[in-house]
Amino acid sequence: MSEVERKQQLLMGLIDGELNDKERIEITDTLRRDAQLREEYDQLLQASGILENMNSFELSEHEIRKLWRNPYRKWVIGLAYLLMGIAFIVIGGIVAFSYLISVSEHVVSGEIFTTAFIVKAVIGSFVIGLMLLFYMALRDRLKIVKNDPYKDVEI
């Protein structure tokens, strides 16, 4: 560590009150002899006082809502819905494809009324029905968000 770095470290330690007696005496003597170092110490002391007087604050819920009302908010929400829709279509396609392949294997082999076929048909129907319900709920939610007359009302 160079001498300049050591002096700066001792200055910060003096301001923060972290020096032992030997270090405090050393930097105090140096400050008496070096006017430039004394000026730097005064500036650091002033900055330290300003920082101590600053209050930390928390944003209220109202202020957080105001921050979210920026031009990117609608874009981000639209992007999220788009990604969810794409995921819904991909997952739905995979499920539908695997369901159709499974059913067609049973139809081709002539095993239409076996227990395995019936279980696969019921599970496939359930999953497809669940995905359709999810789609309808998502579509209805998008309509509500788009046409909500109270979206700009603040509480």
**Which pTM was predicted?**
0.35
**pLDDT truncated to tens, each residue of the chain (155 aa)?**
688 788 888 888 888 888 888 888 888 888 898 888 888 888 887 877 766 665 556 666 766 666 656 657 677 777 888 888 898 889 878 877 887 887 788 778 877 677 777 787 788 788 888 888 988 888 888 888 777 777 676 66
For position 145, what pLDDT does the model report? 77
For position 59, what pLDDT does the model report? 63
- Alpha-carbon distance values, 56 to 51, 59, 62, 90, 138 (Å): 10, 10, 18, 47, 40
For position 39, what pLDDT does the model report? 85
d(CA 19, CA 129): 72
